[in-house]
Amino acid sequence: MKILSLDSATQSATCAILDDNKVLGEITFNYKKQHSQILMPIIDELFKNTQMSIDDIDAFVASKGPGSFTGLRIGMATIKGLSQGTNKPFVTVSTLDSLAYNLAYTDGIICPILDALRDNVYTALYTFEDKKLNRISDYINISIDELITMLKDKDCNISFVGDGTLKFKEKLITNLPKVSFAPDHLNLAKATSLGELGLKLLSNGTFDDIYASVPIYLRKPQAEREYEEKMRQKKNE
């Protein structure tokens, strides 16, 4: 099964073509987030360099977040459009799942963290056992201090991965006894990791419904939060 996978939920934009257990190509940009301008050119470049076309793709995989509201909508709209236009299935996978999968075969707890601004992070906890990634918590949006409190009683090594590691690395080292960090190149969302997880779902007959599939936001958009705050202030005047 050949799939096209795409993740635009974070600062990086990444796209890959996989053929079962073989990666045919991957392109990742992590510079000046302009997903609306570069996603389709990335896809075109992948097809050109692999000498393939959209007709060769059997299914699609998209990130469902959490992450950037705009980036998520652009990525999902792109994959939904390709799926609907070709009448081929698609499935969505969390960016947190794919980041955790970057550290497959790691002992202890794997903790991907994405910067959610204002000292908050998007995160979830995972283990990798019996050649399988297992999520052991909900997807959550919490402060870095709350995450540290949640992890302090874990009697095992905790491996951090994701774009939040650079921002909070010193704080995590100071407050947690057993920590390790992914190398820089694995802190980026990778369409290959997303695609591998998506392939497993597709092979088991799991597909998303084009009308029911929605991103994981975990928090309201900034514009909506600012509007609600303005309404509260007006009400209290």
Structural domains of the chain, with CATH: 2-95+190-227 (3.30.420.40), 96-186 (3.30.420.200)
Q: What is the mean pLDDT of residues 62-82?
A: 95
Check if the beta carbon of residue 173 is closer than 8 Å to that of residue 179: yes
Residue 220 above 60 pLDDT?
Answer: no
CA distance 223 to 142: 20
75-79, 95-99, 170-174, 217-221: which has the minimum mean pLDDT?
217-221
27-36, 110-119, 201-210, 228-237: which has the minimum mean pLDDT?
228-237
pLDDT value of residue 86: 97
Q: What is the mean pLDDT of residues 175-187?
A: 96
Residue located via tokens 């980026």? 188
The residues, ordered by sequence, that sit 6+ positions from 168 with a Cβ below 8 Å of its Cβ are 113, 121, 144
For residue 231, name the pLDDT band (cuts at 50, 70, 90).
low
pLDDT value of residue 52: 97
Could you write out the DSSP letters of every residue in 148-212? Answer: HHHHTT--S-EEEESTHHHHHHHHHHHH-SSEEE--GGGSS--HHHHHHHHHHHHHTT----TTT
Q: What is the mean pLDDT of residues 101-109?
A: 97
The token pair that represents 36 in the structure block: 């609306």
Q: Which helix (H) or strand (E) holds 147?
A: helix 144-151
Q: Classify residue 53 by its DSSP letter.
A: -
- In this predicted model, what pLDDT tens digit does every residue of 121-149 receive, in sequence order? 999 999 999 999 999 999 999 999 999 99
Residue 232 above 80 pLDDT?
Answer: no
**Proportion of the chain above pLDDT 90, given as a percent:** 87
Q: What is the mean pLDDT of residues 147-170?
A: 96
Looking at every residue in the chain, the average pLDDT score rounds to 93
